Amino acid sequence: MDQLTITRPDDWHLHLRDGAMMESVLPYTAKQFARAIVMPNLTPPVTTAEMAKGYRDRILAALPEGSDFQPLMTCYLTDDTAPDDLAQGHADGIFTAAKLYPANATTNSAAGVTDVRKLDPVLKRMAEIGMPLLVHGEVTGPKVDIFDREAVFIETVLTPMVERHPSLKVVLEHITTGQAVEFVETGGHNVAATVTPQHMIINRNDIFKGGIRPHLYCLPVAKRERHRLAVRTAAVSGHPRFFLGTDSAPHTLGAKESACGCAGIFNAPAALETYLNVFDQEDALENFEGFASLHGPRFYGLPVNEGKITLRRESWMVEEDIDTKSGDKLKAFMGGEELGWRLVDA
């Protein structure tokens, strides 16, 4: 097969930032995806419908001429989120979903939730209205080893939460472990996960290959090889509750290459082609459309996109250094590496 035409895909997990950075990175996503779930971890975080509406307007205003890309907005949950306000924002078509960041788990999560049980009234209401909860699944604090934070979160926080709210739609974001795969596979039809390109490609050794590689550092951090294989196998399997979410998270070169480098991998420039390369390597091209274009909307209860895109078998090298409008530079995931598939320009 030398050409693949599929329903236009969506990115169910994306960091666009704001201002000049957003304007610089948005075209990469808008070119490949019809819609994206836009994460709310700005400073200050997007905690109200009014803030989300303003952010959405700024994204729409920054779109390249002729683009019909649709940003799907999320609410950043805090200890003070009011069920009525959240439900109203959902009913008004502003919030597609809400994001749970455990306080201090990752970039701009200081205002996140300190104890998930405090959210029970919010979660109860979300379950009633069918609003998905998107979860950054890591415990915080120094007592748990960084490589165990996802597994411990699943056991001590997520499993009891799902038991308390059995009909709540839950997306465990950017999964990195065999335990997360098992959680989804053994969970109900209302439990799903997104998978990033990097967590199918790198393991924790890659972060230290020949020296420290800050551009391969993200959270949750890549795990052992057996976990990478479990995540990769699940993603290409055709299982309807695993779907595409890039977690593309741009940070400037200076913020990454620093004594205390930020977590986040900027994979937007070649995201779709990077995923397709993996599906091809795994001999699973027939499952690519489901993962990229069908499973996500079905889980969210949204229509599948109408248009199609075509990818062609073609060897090309991903651009490594990306300029932004503020003069800062970004490093792209897979930059300088060859991919075997390329998006055919519409």
Residues at the interface with ligand DOR (CB under 6 A): 15, 41, 106-107, 136, 218-219, 249, 263-264
How many Å apart are CA 123 and CA 116, to the nearest integer? 10
Q: By rule CB under 5 A, what count of residues binds Zn ion?
A: 1
Min dist. Cβ of residue 264 to ligand DOR (A): 3
Q: Which does 106 bind (CB under 5 to 8 A by kind): ligand DOR, Zn ion, none?
A: ligand DOR
Q: Which does 280 bind (CB under 5 to 8 A by kind): Zn ion, ligand DOR, none?
A: none
Tell me the two tokens of residue 248. 């593309």
| Residue 206 burial (C-beta neighbours within 10 Å; 0-12, 13-18, 19+) | middle
- Segment contacting Zn ion by CB under 5 A, of 84-92, 202-210, 244-252, 311-319: 244-252
Q: Cβ closer to ligand DOR: 134 or 168?
A: 134
Min dist. Cβ of residue 247 to ligand DOR (A): 6
Contacts of 208 (CB under 8 A, 6+ apart): none
Q: How many CA atoms lie within 13 A of 183 on its CB side?
A: 30
CB 98 within 8 A of CB 83: no
Verify whether residue 247 is a known catalytic residue.
yes
Contacts of 99 (CB under 8 A, 6+ apart): 39, 40, 41, 74, 75, 76, 77, 134, 135, 136
Q: Which does 263 bind (CB under 5 to 8 A by kind): ligand DOR, Zn ion, none?
A: ligand DOR
How many Å apart are CA 216 and CA 206, to the nearest integer? 8
Min dist. Cβ of residue 308 to ligand DOR (A): 31
* Residues comprising the chain, all counted: 346
Closest CA to 302 of 165, 174, 132: 132
Q: Cβ closer to ligand DOR: 107 or 287?
A: 107
Our finding on whether 247 is near Zn ion (CB under 5 A) is yes
Min dist. Cβ of residue 138 to ligand DOR (A): 8
Closest CA to 8 of 301, 240, 243, 310: 310
Helix (H) and strand (E) counts for the chain? 13, 13
From the CB of residue 66, how many other CB atoms can be counted at a distance below 10 Å? 7
Q: Cβ closer to Zn ion: 150 or 247?
A: 247
Residue nearest to Zn ion (CB): 247
In the stretch 22-51, what mask flags binding to Zn ion with x, by CB under 5 A?
------------------------------
Q: Cβ closer to Zn ion: 7 or 41?
A: 41
Instruction: Name the residue with tokens 């800062």.
Output: 328
Q: Which does 335 bind (CB under 5 to 8 A by kind): ligand DOR, Zn ion, none?
A: none
Assign 195 to helix, strand or coil: strand
Q: Which does 41 bind (CB under 5 to 8 A by kind): ligand DOR, Zn ion, none?
A: ligand DOR
Our finding on whether 10 is near Zn ion (CB under 5 A) is no
Q: Cβ closer to Zn ion: 15 or 165?
A: 15
Q: Cβ closer to Zn ion: 296 or 309?
A: 296
Min dist. Cβ of residue 247 to Zn ion (A): 4
Q: Which does 277 bind (CB under 5 to 8 A by kind): ligand DOR, Zn ion, none?
A: none
Amino acid identity, residue 73?
M
Catalytic residue from among 2, 79, 84, 247? 247
> Looking at residue 261, what DSSP letter applies?
P
Tell me the two tokens of residue 338. 């060859």
- Segment contacting Zn ion by CB under 5 A, of 143-151, 180-188, 203-211, 241-249: 241-249
Task: Supply the angle between the helices 49-62 and 83-91 in degrees, to the nearest 10.
Answer: 40
Residues that bind Zn ion (CB under 5 A): 247
Which residues are the active-site residues? Answer: 247
